[in-house]
Each structure stands twice: as C-alpha cells, then as structure tokens.
Structure 1
Amino acid sequence: MKLLIFGNPLDNRDVLTTFFKSKLVVVDETTDIEEALDLTRFYEYDAVVLRVTDTRPAEIELIRRLRLAGLRCPIMAVAHLLSEATRLRILEAGVDDLIVSAISHEEIFLRVQNQVRRSRGFQSSSLAVGNVEINMNAKKIFVSQTEIGLTKKEYQIVEILALRKGCVLSKEAILDHLYGGLDEPNPKIIDVFICKIRKKLLAAGADDLIQTNWGRGYMIVDRRESELRPTRTAPAQNIMPAPRERSAAG
C-alpha cells in the first residue's frame, strides 16, 4: 500500500508513520494543504490518513478540498480525543472513517487496510485472485493453502497489482509504490522481479495471473473469473421463410 499522512504528530508517542512502514507501507507525509493536494494529483495513493485535533481546522478544510478535487481513495482521520462538534464536522466533510482513541497502532493499520481493500472491491480479509490468496494481514501469499516464499519486494508487487486487478501499472508506478521516490533503481528491475514472481507462483501450481502489456506495464488478471463470466450471444433472429413462387399452372 501507499499512503499519504497529513498533519503533525499528535504527541511524543505518535509513531504512526514508523509503524506503517514496518508493515511494508510506503508513506508520504506533509503538513501543508497545498502540498497535500499536489501530491494527490500527481501520485496514486491507496488512502489518505489525517491526524486531527480540536484545535486544528486545516484537516477539515483538506477533506473538503480533496473531495471537491474528485479524490476517490479512502480518507481517514485519526485522533486521541475529539469533541462531538469536531467529530460531526469531520464526518460532514466526507471522511470515510474516524478513529478516536484507538487502543494501538495495529488497530489503526487494520482499519486503514480494510478500507483500502473494500474500496478496491475485495470483501474478504484476504485478496483472492484465481487460486492465489494474498493475506494482507500476515503479508504472505498462499497457493492452495501452501505458503509461497517471496521476498518483501516481491510480495509488495503482487499486493500492488492485486489491489488494482485488471488495471495496467507501469514500471514507474510500481517503483513509486515500492520506494516512494527514494533511491529508486532502474525501472528494468521490475522485469526481474516479475520474472522471479512468475516462476515461484507457477512452480507452486498457481494460475498464470500476471499479464504483460508490452510497452505499458503489468497487470493481474483473474482468468477463472473471466472463464466463469457468461458469454453474450446475439439474440436469434426470427426470419420467415421466403414465399414460394407460384407455377404458371397453379
């Protein structure tokens, strides 16, 4: 996943960004509204997370402006304590979830992840594509309940593509979701990653999920889903037989 986190830390114990990164999440951070708007225009985020308090109205203004700009990914707000008036203003502004007094960073992470998963059309706690299960909680991939040994980067690539099933992602977009613009290697490294992933999945009996779109990038396709989808046939036409010609004797 790739998240944009807006706002200053809520207190000295706020290690939300560090915790998300420990869960293989790429994070961009800003405290400036205009920069946040620019970032959402130029980069695709899986969710936007805002730190909110009763004394900082900028977060509410940002929610409204993001919605007016047409941002479609989940927007979530996190707070320690909030008055009822502030809670109502945040919800009215269009936030997807408001998390107040969460017990742990793990709870925040899971709630954000669940919003991301549902926004991409996956209702189960895992991403199921063909006979492959991507467990986002454990950060592991299974084929017929057998775990596949992928590196962290390989897992991230499968998760990124699975969340955008049916959509082509360029190598540059995949790199951005892996490295967040920091020390990015040559885009050709994505070809190497994809090759290794395919070999591991196919060796385990997985469906051939990753499709190459030459000149554009890669995408995951659920071939079983395509096969189960009923084919549309043209309706039969009611064609009346042509009348026989009468003979001269008739």
Structure 2
Amino acid sequence: MKVLLIEDSERLRRSLGYGLRREGFTIDSAGDGYEGLLFAETYTYDVLILDLMLPGIDGLALLQRLRAQGNNTPVLILSAKDQVEDRVRGLHLGADDYLIKPFAFEELCARLRALVRRRYGTKNPYIQIGPLTINTNLRQVFHGNTPITLTRKEYMLLEYLALRRGRVFSSAQLCEYLYPHDVDINSNVIEVMIYNIRKKFRKHGVSSVIRTIRGHGYVID
C-alpha cells in the first residue's frame, strides 16, 4: 500500500515514516503544502495522510484543490484540531477519515488499511484467490492453514494485484509502485519476483494465480 504523508513536523514525519515502512507501507513524505500537492498531482497513491496546519498551502485548501481536480484518493486527516466543527468541515470538504493527535499508531494503521480496502470495494481484510488467502492485516499468505513465506516486496506485489483484480499492470508500473523514484531499477526485477512467487506457490501445490499478458503485463483474475 502506497501512502503520501503530508506533515510539517519533521520529528513526527520521520517517526511515522519509519513505523509505517515497518508495517509494510511504501511511503512518500512532504513537509509543506506545496510539496505535498506536487507529490499528489504527480504520483498515484492508495491513501493520503494530511495534516491541516501546513506551511505554504494549508491542509484544507490542499484537499479542496485535489478534489476539484477529480483526485479521489482516500484522505485521512491527522490533526490536533479536536473541535467537532473542524472534523465536520474536513469531512465535508472531501476527507474520508479524521484522526485526532495524539493517537495510537496501531489505530492509524488499522484506519489506513480500512480506507484502502474500501477504495477497492472490500471491507474484508481477507482476500481469497483460488486456494490462497491473503490476510492484509497480518500481511501473510495462507494455503489452507499453512503460511507461505514471501519477502516484503513479493507480498507487496501480490497484494497490489489482488486488490486490483482484473486490471493489467506493466512491469514499469509495478516497478514504480515497489521502487518509487529509483530510476536504476531494471524492470526485469518484476519478472524475477513473479517467477519466485510462482515457485513458492508450486511448492504448496498451487498453480500460479498471477497471469502474464504477453506484451502488456500481469494480472490476477
């Protein structure tokens, strides 16, 4: 899951970025409204975390501009403003959730995952693909009750395709998701990663759930 974190506190930005990466999220971060707007307009994210008290463009103005552009990426507002009218205004302007500082990190992660599931049309944290079950909370894949061990990047790729079933993604698109801003990554890394995922599945008697569309990319039906 790819997250844009827009927060002016460097200390909080660093700690959240560190914690979210450990939870398996891919993070871009911005320290002011202008930088955050540039990221949001340039790249695709599963969810945005937005502080309200930002230098440059404040959070609500940034949110309004994104919605006016037709950007429907889920937005979770993270703010010390705890008055009902502040929360109502943020939600009326297009935010999808509102979390008041201070907050529990575990709750933030749970809310982010719920927003992403809702975006892709499921409230269930379990994704069933043939005989496989993906537990998006634990970030694990099971064949029956048996876990299948994937690397962090392998899991991210599988979950990305599973949440977008039926859509074909090229190697370049998957590289951008897994290795954002890393121009030195060869797209061949995706082919190797999918080969390794399929190999692990075959050891459990599972035929590949990722289909190759020659000349176009990969898809989970």
Could you tell me which residue of structure 2 aligns to residue 171 of structure 1? 171
Could you tell me which residue of structure 2 aligns to residue 109 of structure 1? 109
Could you tell me which residue of structure 1 aligns to residue 154 of structure 2? 154
Secondary structure of the corresponding residue to residue 15 of structure 1:
helix
Unaligned runs of 5+ in 2: none
What does 1:90-129 correspond to in 2, within 5 Å? 90-101=90-101, 103-129=103-129
| Segments of 4+ moved more than 6 angstroms | 54-57
Secondary structure of the corresponding residue to residue 70 of structure 1:
coil
Aligned pair in 2 of structure 1 residues 40, 195: CA closer, same or farther (>3 Å)?
same
TM-superposition CA deviations, 1:87-109 (whole Å, max 9, x none) = 22211111001111464111101
Could you tell me which residue of structure 2 aligns to residue 215 of structure 1? 215
The structure carrying a bigger helix percent of its residues is 2
Shift of 1:53: 4.4
Whether the 8 Å contact between 2:77 and 2:99 is mirrored in structure 1 is yes
Question: So what's the TM-score if we normalise by structure 2?
Answer: 0.89
Secondary structure of the corresponding residue to residue 196 of structure 2:
helix
Aligned length: 221
| Distance in 2 separating the partners of 1:54 and 1:100 | 16
Whether the 8 Å contact between 1:64 and 1:93 is mirrored in structure 2 is yes
Identity of aligned residues (%): 31
Shift of 1:205: 2.8
Could you tell me which residue of structure 2 aligns to residue 68 of structure 1? 68
Output the amino acid matched with 2:40: T
| Distance in 1 separating the partners of 2:110 and 2:184 | 28
Could you tell me which residue of structure 1 aligns to residue 182 of structure 2? 182
Shift of 1:24: 1.6
Whether the 8 Å contact between 1:47 and 1:112 is mirrored in structure 2 is yes
Secondary structure of the corresponding residue to residue 117 of structure 2:
helix
Output the amino acid matched with 1:59: G
Greater alpha carbon shift after TM alignment, 83-92 vs 141-150: 83-92
Could you say which structure has the larger radius of gyration? 1
What does 1:1-250 correspond to in 2, within 5 Å? 1-9=1-9, 15-53=15-53, 58-101=58-101, 103-182=103-182, 184-221=184-221
Whether the 8 Å contact between 1:53 and 1:81 is mirrored in structure 2 is no
Aligned pair in 2 of structure 1 residues 108, 73: CA closer, same or farther (>3 Å)?
same
| Distance in 1 separating the partners of 2:183 and 2:17 | 19
Whether the 8 Å contact between 1:50 and 1:78 is mirrored in structure 2 is yes
